[in-house]
Structure 1
Amino acid sequence: MALEMVYRLNIGGSSIPQVEDTGMFRQWSEVRTDYLLTDGVNPRDPSLKLKYSKIPKYIAPDTVYQSAVSMGPNSTRNSMSNLTWGLPVETGFNYLVRLHFCEIEPGIDISGIREFTIYIDYQLAEEMADVILWADDNDTPYYKDYVVMIQNKGEDSHTLAIDLHPRTDADLCDAILNGVEVFKLSDLSGNLAGLNMVPPPMDQQPTLAANKSNTKKTIFIAIGSGVGFLVMAALVCFMVLYKLKMTERYGSCHPLAKWWRWFRPNPYKREFSRRTASSLPGELCHYFRLDEIKTATNNFNEDLIVGVGGFGNVYKGLIEQGNIAVAIKRMKQESRQGAREFMTEIEMLSKLRHVHLVSLIGYCNDEGEMILVYEYMTNGTLRHHLYDTPNDPLTWKQRLQICIGAARGLHYLHTCTKHPIIHRDVKTTNILLDEKWVSKVSDFGLSKMGLDNAAISTLVKGTWGYLDPEYARRQQLTEKSDVYSFGVVMFEVLCAQKALNHGLQEEERNLASWARKCIERGAINKIIDPYLMNKIALDCFKVYVELAESCVSEHGIKRPTMNDVMEKLEFALELQEYAEATKDTDSEEVSFCVATTNGAPWYNNVYHGQVLESTSGIELSTISTRLSYPSLDYY
């Protein structure tokens, strides 16, 4: 297997002289602004003394690790964006992507401060990147290797995307990168040239083989000083071939960024495509054999069931010789959901990667079984922590943060492609919580591609209690249908009551309509979770309830977008934190009243004497300016 260096970029942008470094020619280029597609800041310390305790010093020049790009101090903006680079590459080849890291900011010297997620070509590479955890110290260089296949889909070129998204549960909502190298790997015949290869301009492609004269020069230098490079190339090839062999032996996901499994063709894909209308993206997620699934679940042991839904049972399983926990959803034969929903979920989650969407690891379609394998979410469903549960109640701030995460995931669905992706089954059992209580939207079996600013006609599907009444009446689906369902979730979170409860009086059975009536009557305090008494700031409560009420409006045109929902929830959290930070221990009883559109009060003496006080008489609009608010079944 041959390698060709395509990019070697110093992300921090420092100028690096072209010199021989410990016997190995290292040609590094300053990163051009058109490669970096988002804003960032450039921490840099040319005098920094680096500690090469984890990698050899010849891997990259010191200057690479003495400079970097990070996102900056604005945590709110960072949480809604990525650090993104776009690198043009040829299609039809595998690429080795090497990312270089070094924490050079003095205040970041322990793990957990700056954690982020890495996506390569829109696929999850690292769910929790932590440079200090990898390197054990700051000022210590480190690198990570990933392999990605760029398929030829009728185009000669493709922009390879590298996205870093900060984890909102870390102390610092930020991401960092120091350098990037991209190597093209030869195909099975040893070829490194594309079918219609046209050498790109030198200012657009900093490659060692850009043209004939440059190639000769590179060969001449490599003969004299390329021993180190050949050793590194041999090691890389050995690593790739070793991972391929491990894939054949164990047939499961491996920690090498989950990219190694793309190298081998899927032996089951052709068989599956004969059974279905279209083939599944087998190269984007792993195919598990049924015997592997049975081993992972101890032959579907009922003691390992962690959830039950319309699709079937969900089992906690172990793969990678018992080292990785996964959630395995097995479709029951009598399930009303069928192959179409099965395919939809695989196709959807194989293409979508976001920190607030549950990740699909693989699938099984063996011996009549239809099985999906996901990342395991330690804390289960949101519903399991709201009512009918032995778990301790969630705090109000936890509930707000969970809602914000789910809103971000839905906003991503509505905006990540040319046309919005409508989830169509948003509910508390489809919002999952990981070990750090980060929320992720799951279950995409009913999802459907929508149209911009227009409804699509489709059969009504969803869950009663969460179902948009306008969609149910007209059979016209838009992304505002997801907004309605999310509004129901918000009331569930506030009231700790079921969305639909036939055990109550008729007027109270549907939570959304009952909450609207309580708001109109000024009696919303009567249905709020008693645990939250004396725990919600008044201004936060007002923003939250008004937002939830607008989400469940009868008419979609009156509902906010998911972007509006996300921003207002973040504002509500800021109000809560502000009120808690400025709370006077000698607070007086508070009563508050605000008029609805028809002039009737919806909020009278809420929590009379049992809420955090309003912010010392400061108007809500003043707080808004101060806080820089821009505008208003398990698996």
Structure 2
Amino acid sequence: MAVGIHELGLIIAIIISIQWVCYASIPTITDNYLIDCGSSISTNINNRNFVADSSLSSILTTPTDILASTTLNPGSSSGMSALYKTARIFTGPSSYSFSINEQGRHFVRLYFFPFVHGDYNMTTATFSVSTQDVLLLNNFQPPVNLSMKEFSLDITRDNLIISFAPSGSSSFAFVNAIEVISVPDDVFRVTATTVRTQTTQELSGQALETVYRLNVGGQQVLPNDDSLWRTWERDAKFLEDGSRSKNFTFSGAIYFPPQFPTDTAPEIVYKTVRELAPANNSDAQIKMTWKLDVDPNFGYLMRFHFCDVVSAAPNMLEFNVSVNRWPILTNFELDNKLFTALATAYYTDFLLDASDASNQLLIDISPSTPNSSRPIPPNGILNGLEIMKINFSIGSVFVVTPTDSKKNLGIILGSVIGSLAIVIVVVVVVLFLVFRRRRPTIKKYSGTWTPFSIDDLNSHSSADRTSIGTAFTSEQNGNLGYRFPFFMLQVATNNFDESWLIGIGGFGKVYKGVLKDKTKVAVKRGNTKHKQGLKEFHNEIELLSRLRHRHLVSLIGYCDEKNEMILVYEYMEKGTLKSHLYGSTLPSLSWKQRLEICIGSARGLHYLHTSSATAIIHRDVKSANILLDENFLAKVSDFGLSKIGPEMDQTHVSTAVKGSFGYLDPEYFRRQKLTEKSDVYSFGVVLLEVICARPVIDPTLPREMVNLAEWGMKWQKKGELGQIVDPRIVGTIRPSSLRKFGETIEKCLADYGAQRPLIGDVLWNLEYTLQLQEADSDISEINSVNRIPELSPVVRSINASEDGTAEFNTSTLNDFTDASMDKVFSQLINSEGR
């Protein structure tokens, strides 16, 4: 049984991974590399095992092997003193190479403490540090006391190389310790509001350097008390006048809503707070100010953490926040921004452009303008503050390529060959690889941007392909892909004319286009700086090139020239479902139209979940991703986040949480275990949108109304869903139809996936809802909250045919009277009914 080079490489990678497990206690996060540089033995700090780099020759490339140590006491207050007592010295360009298991945001921490080792006086060292994409430190000379540099990098490669290069022939470089830690996606948002212009700016792909991280009003928080091992300093030394504020520590529990997970900041940061103190005299200004020294040549991302633990009741706290005298939050009523009452974690991000920066940041908190109609005591709070430098690279990146892994093969194998467990794992892996080669697979995203041919996407010969520029329909598309020249798409979109813009999403902008034969298309031009852009680009092509269904948007082609990521779809004349529900001047949809759109969308999802042995989970079901053609036929779109579901012998897929706020399955969010039921939950939120015609998250509304799912379910459970129906269709919905629709929503939005129906059952109930609406009389005596328990003798399967129609097994409909069946199921049985 021969094993190829690719398989051997994977085996070696797995052996290295197992070696890492032997060395370190790895948390649940995906990547967790802890290196004690220059040490001959591993160092355990707060149950974190820093591996001695002398035992990791496979990841280290250096011309010399110089290990340094000192007996000096670094005096670290963070409990990390032991890490600073050894160092690795580099007399020439050197690097560490780390395998990245899941691309995305990572913390990279570099520890420095200069001391004298033989002829090397580290206080005189000057050097630069770089990754493949970012220059982290340029001509850096560490301070005489210990220091730690923390960077937040958006890694889009399969490996991370951290290179060290001495500045000049007489200098050298050194480092005491290194951490590379993956960060959950929801800890960093992709956008922030600019301070001066109050516009939204994209942050995806930005490299950040932590400058300040303050626990406002509290004591220092050490890495052992933070899930991501961050250090939070006290804010007192940056406060202009301590008499204008007072500290408070909350003894109760903090609530973390889904939008602000527990990894955002430790609970202690939200429990401690600095609030305004009453003025000593009537002429004194009530305000607290922090002064923070910064480099004026850079922009800064500022994260403000708030948690109202000082008010006696909700809606009694309102204040102003400004940066460098620019107001960023005016009459900010914190409790109205939250999903529950007091003691709820919240943060907001602002961006200070380099053109607006000075050598000092002034952060002011002051009371809101008095309002006679709503008198509240003057106050203001701040719980935490993070300041991160943006675009800190000045100079060119450099990369020290790791040595050939074959040279280290003997070292890698020799270090573990004595372990029987390793041998067993290798055998299992080989068998798995052989088995896998016999099965069709989806090609894994490589993590680097390289143009790829259409042959990578399908096995059709060139003779099978229709020439570019001819008319394409969903039926013609099949599983073919078309590679458009970039110039053709420029012509089709009038050189990406902004007046032709029809949508903007996280991936990029969508333009209307017209091909040379007058066929209309939608052209989605990806933002190359988008955090997951390339991965989503590949994912969507991989999926849509082999999916074909009447209720899925068809992919016509793509373009990958000149580092472009462009997808070309069939044009959907009526736009998004969302735009027809709210936020535009488009005519209102009738209740029947809304039901038919929901049914079509459910058919598309049902096809995804059931068309192959392994389900495809969409992961971003929302009204903005349901498109309508000229006849209001619904089609599900945007498969960039889609994921192959669990195998038949599995119950779920463990994966990082992705999706859109307001639609996100709470169980998936809590457990990071993805199933088809996550799509069902999201679709249940869409059903609420359809009947209420309002956004799923609206922070301008009163607190209890902000989250549509929570608010809608309260009315549904009271049996009063009719109270929140879109006023434009009130009076047009039959009570039985409304009741069935509400019951379907309630099932979809169950807290646990096991309690939710399959999407096929949801489709059945929606068909039933439409029949109830169109029936000659109210037949509400046929009760089925979910057809599984009540109607199990009647129908158990819906098979989505290629044209998108649903096939129902009606062989046991004899439980119903002929009259009821004629009224309710006539169109289900008659394929020509609609």
TM norm structure 1: 0.50
Q: Larger RCO: Structure 1 or Structure 2 (Cα < 8 Å, ≥ 6 residues apart)?
A: 1
Normalised by the length of structure 2, the TM-score is: 0.38
Between Structure 1 and Structure 2, the one with more strand by share is: 2
